[in-house]
Amino acid sequence: MITHRTRRGILGRLGATTLVAAAVVCSVGLSATSASADDSSNQPPLTAKDHAITDVPGLVNGRELGSFTGLNGQLVSSPRLLRTESLDKITSDGAATLATKYHVNLVIDLRTATQIAAKPDVPVPGAKSVNISMFGADGNYPDDTVMYHDLVDKGYNGPNDRGPMITAYAQILRLIAQDTTGTVLIHCSHGMDRTGTVMDLLYNILGVSESDILHDYLLSNTQLKVGWATPQLLQGTFESDVNSKYGGIDSYLRKTIGLTDQDFAALRTNLLVSNDASASSITVDGISVPLDAAATTGGATITDPQTALAAGDVTVTTTNPNATASTTVSGRTATITVTAQDGITVERYVVNAALPATAGGTSTPVAAAAAATTRATLPETGGDDTAVVLVGGIGGALLIAGGILLMRRRTKRTAG
């Protein structure tokens, strides 16, 4: 990396807060054409989705993956990877925090052997550390632009002579793809240049937008309070070279670096969380529910002979196994809420469980709907005529009416 006086001179003119950052990030210099340290145009504000690491003493430029939207609307799984500067300034408590809170189990150090010897990392308890020097043995550059050209393909002479840079990218990305149990921490000296291009490639694999990739890259300026990272370096030099020399980033990743479809799939599986909140099946007391209807406002209606409906009667299978489903019941209506793995996307299903219809055409199989029996006694008509009528529903009412009419006719004849 650049070690000439320009960057060190700028660091010397910064305030007390930035001097802390300067102590951590002194192995790469600033070229004469780079932005000045107080240039805020390339210092985007940190947002909640950027997940800056602020609880590891001695760490200045640390953050998790950004919670950006990726491929097919999925969300980048921010806790799965950390990007930082070198770990030589962190405290033992800070290293313990990386292990216990952030679950770091793999540290990938991108620095040269000379840089590591000068500033060795404080080890993270329980984590494996792997050194993959992207620049090979020599990491000193007279100019940032020259360095970013080399970040594309230093030493590459073809598939049989890949050089340190292409070889390093393949090793780094495959290590990240293979780690499925914990959190990977990747760093160089500042966490800006070498780490920045690795993250550019990784975010492209995950389907993150160009604007979000640039935002994440420039956040190193924000955290270090410098202006070293610029769009011209990442997009105008590194990405421009990749496009002109290798036919674009996807071709570069597949044909030059040599990643396979399986590598792409593993990275996406490890680092993207699904936004699929759909149900593949819903049953109520074993009765299948039509999902299209259930997803509408009015919901689906099924016939269920059970007299009472409970949440335990509803079984939901989600399309993505990492989604979760919850059920609430009000009367004979069940509302199912499916929350996707991303914790944001939600789908709701409504099921109305109607009771079966009876022979009389109603759907209430309780005693009140059955034919009730009533004993009715007609008034005396001048004799001992007493009618006992079984009354049930409408038929009973008709019998009563007929009895009353008969009574009136008999009374009239007696009076005459």
Residues 6+ positions from 152 with CB-CB distance below 8 Å? 165, 238, 241, 242, 245
Predicted pLDDT of residue 100: 98
DSSP tag of 322: T
Q: Read off the pLDDT band of 40 (50, 70, 90).
A: confident
Assess whether 194 and 295 both reside in one domain: no
Contacts 24+ apart (CB under 8 A), 395-402: 400/376
Assess whether 166 and 257 both reside in one domain: yes
Residue ranges of E strands in 120-273: 128-131, 183-187, 272-273
Predicted pLDDT of residue 362: 52
Of the residues 273, 292, 326, the one at which a domain ends: 273
Nearest one of 267, 197, 206, 265 to 69, comparing CA atoms: 206
Residue 405 maps to a domain: no
Predicted pLDDT of residue 39: 63
Assess whether 160 and 111 both reside in one domain: yes
pLDDT at 391 over 80: no
Predicted pLDDT of residue 296: 97
Question: Which of 33-47, 130-144, 148-162, 215-229 has the least mean pLDDT?
Answer: 33-47
Q: Which residue has the tokens 């990218």?
A: 169
Q: What is the pLDDT of residues 249-273, one digit of tens each?
A: 999 999 999 999 999 999 999 999 9
d(CA 302, CA 313): 13
**How many domains does the chain fold into?**
2
Categorise residue 108: left if φ over 0, alpha if ψ from -120 to 50, beta otherwise: beta
Assess whether 51 and 192 both reside in one domain: yes
Residue 361 maps to a domain: no
Q: Give me the chain's average pLDDT, please.
A: 83
Q: Read off the pLDDT band of 41 (50, 70, 90).
A: confident
pLDDT at 400 over 60: no
Assess whether 250 and 269 both reside in one domain: yes
pLDDT at 9 over 50: no
Predicted pLDDT of residue 358: 75
Of the residues 273, 304, 336, the one at which a domain ends: 273
Residue 367 maps to a domain: no
Of 68 and 5, more confident: 68
Residue 222 maps to a domain: yes
Predicted pLDDT of residue 379: 44
Residue 79 maps to a domain: yes
Domain housing 248: 41-273
Of 259 and 11, more confident: 259
- What residues does 82 pair with on adjacent strands? 64, 185
Contact indicator for 146, 138 with CB cutoff of 8 Å: no
pLDDT at 233 over 60: yes
Residue 318 maps to a domain: yes
Tell how far CA 276 is from the center of its chain. 10
pLDDT at 232 over 60: yes
Residue 395 maps to a domain: no
Q: What is the pLDDT of residues 323-368, one digit of tens each?
A: 999 999 999 999 999 999 999 999 999 999 999 987 555 554 333 3
Q: Read off the pLDDT band of 389 (50, 70, 90).
A: very low
- For residue 156, the surrounding DSSP H or E stretch is none
Q: What is the pLDDT of residues 55-70, one digit of tens each?
A: 999 999 999 999 999 9
Q: Read off the pLDDT band of 403 (50, 70, 90).
A: very low
Q: Read off the pLDDT band of 6 (50, 70, 90).
A: very low
Predicted pLDDT of residue 13: 32
Assess whether 283 and 268 both reside in one domain: no
Predicted pLDDT of residue 360: 54
Assess whether 139 and 155 both reside in one domain: yes
- Name the CA radius of gyration of the chain, rounded: 37
Predicted pLDDT of residue 220: 98
